[in-house]
């Protein structure tokens, strides 16, 4: 619980003791807003953590696949050059096979976690490569058990190449996905900026009009409807900003802070326009 939320709860408790109904209502509205903001912030944080986990799992998989490919190549050279006995070569091959089986589990977990993202990365389907690699590894082990080192070397070489291919593909997928996401977000930021400027001008025009119109004038109610329309337009922009914040951790705190400041002002402006004109001066002074 942050300090602002704790302060609100303390104030609410004090008001309950005083039985100040009007202030209780106002503080409860603030508390509802703070709780809603906290839920949205938690949602964004969870999304960022999932994306971070996906990127880390890709990096780990790439590193482990490259290391295992190198280990497989070294075993091929050692067994071909008779640097290891048939028994030693077979044992080391079995260890590599087991490591690859664990790697396959990690890759499956990576795909599962990626699908949980709001916008999953476009990762290549590695199923065929994994199956072919497993087949090569098993055949290499079988041939080593039979003392056929030269024939086993063909499967070992093929398995190592496929591991390297999977590592390269994953690295390329990650780079392409992050590049595409950044390009899309830059385009979205430009559109949102244009929309925010337009809404800003509409809001200023509406507030100035409200100050020059009597609250008994039918046009005053029309301004109230205009204010509601502005809030609806802003809600669409807000949804886009929240989605952007989930993907871009560096600006998420700024977006969250500014949206939290804007919402109560908009709600207050609508309430004022639907009630009395005089209160507009209070709103203007609070902006």
pLDDT digits (tens, 9 = 90+) for 189-203: 788 778 888 888 887
**Distance (Å, whole) CA 210 – CA 280:** 8
Chain centre distance of CA 222: 40
Contact status, residue 154 vs residue 110, Cβ threshold 8 Å: no
CA–CA–CA angle 221, 222, 228 (5° rounding): 95
> Which pLDDT score is estimated for 44?
65
**Distance (Å, whole) CA 47 – CA 113:** 11
> Which pLDDT score is estimated for 37?
61
Rounded to two decimals, the pTM is 0.64
Instruction: For 199-213, give one letter per residue: b (16+ CB within 10 A) or e.
Output: beebbeebbeebeeb
Handedness of CA 153, 157, 158, 160 (dihedral sign): positive
CATH of 51-176 given 2.60.40, 1.20.120, 3.40.1350, 1.10.260: 1.20.120
Q: How many residues does the chain have?
A: 287
Q: Please compute the mean of the pLDDT values over residues 249-274 and round it to a whole number.
A: 70
> Which pLDDT score is estimated for 30?
53
pLDDT digits (tens, 9 = 90+) for 124-164: 999 999 999 999 999 999 998 998 888 999 999 999 999 99
pLDDT digits (tens, 9 = 90+) for 218-243: 777 787 788 788 778 887 888 878 77
pLDDT > 80? residue 13: no
Instruction: Give every CB contact of residue 155 below 8 A, 6+ residues apart in sequence.
Output: 136, 137, 139, 140, 143
Instruction: For 77-93, give one letter per residue: b (16+ CB within 10 A) or e.
Output: eebbeeebebeebbebb
pLDDT > 60? residue 8: no
């Amino acid at each position: 619980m942050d300090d602002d939320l704790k302060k609100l709860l303390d104030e609410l408790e004090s008001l309950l003791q005083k039985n100040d109904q009007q202030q209780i209502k106002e503080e409860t509205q603030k508390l509802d807003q703070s709780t809603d903001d906290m839920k949205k912030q938690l949602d964004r944080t969870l999304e960022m953590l999932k994306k971070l986990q996906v990127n880390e799992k890709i990096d780990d998989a790439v590193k482990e696949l490259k290391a295992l490919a190198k280990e497989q190549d070294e075993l091929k050279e050692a067994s071909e050059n008779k640097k290891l006995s048939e028994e030693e070569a077979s044992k080391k091959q079995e260890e590599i096979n087991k490591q690859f089986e664990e790697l396959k589990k990690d890759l499956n977990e990576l795909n599962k976690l990626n699908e949980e993202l709001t916008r999953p990365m476009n990762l290549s389907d590695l199923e065929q490569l994994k199956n072919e690699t497993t087949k090569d590894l098993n055949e290499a082990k079988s041939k080593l058990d039979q003392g056929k080192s030269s024939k086993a070397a063909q499967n070992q070489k093929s398995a190592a190449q496929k591991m390297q291919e999977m590592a390269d593909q994953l690295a390329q997928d990650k780079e392409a996905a992050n590049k595409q996401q950044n390009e899309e977000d830059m385009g979205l930021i430009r559109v949102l900026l244009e929309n925010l400027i337009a809404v800003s001008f509409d809001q200023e025009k509406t507030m100035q009009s409200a100050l020059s119109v009597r609250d008994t004038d039918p046009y005053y109610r029309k301004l109230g409807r205009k204010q509601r329309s502005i809030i609806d337009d802003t809600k669409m922009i807000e949804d886009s900003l929240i989605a952007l914040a989930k993907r871009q951790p560096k600006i998420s705190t700024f977006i969250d802070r500014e949206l939290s400041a804007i919402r109560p002002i908009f709600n207050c402006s609508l309430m004022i326009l639907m009630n009395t004109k005089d209160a507009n001066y209070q709103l203007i002074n609070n902006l």
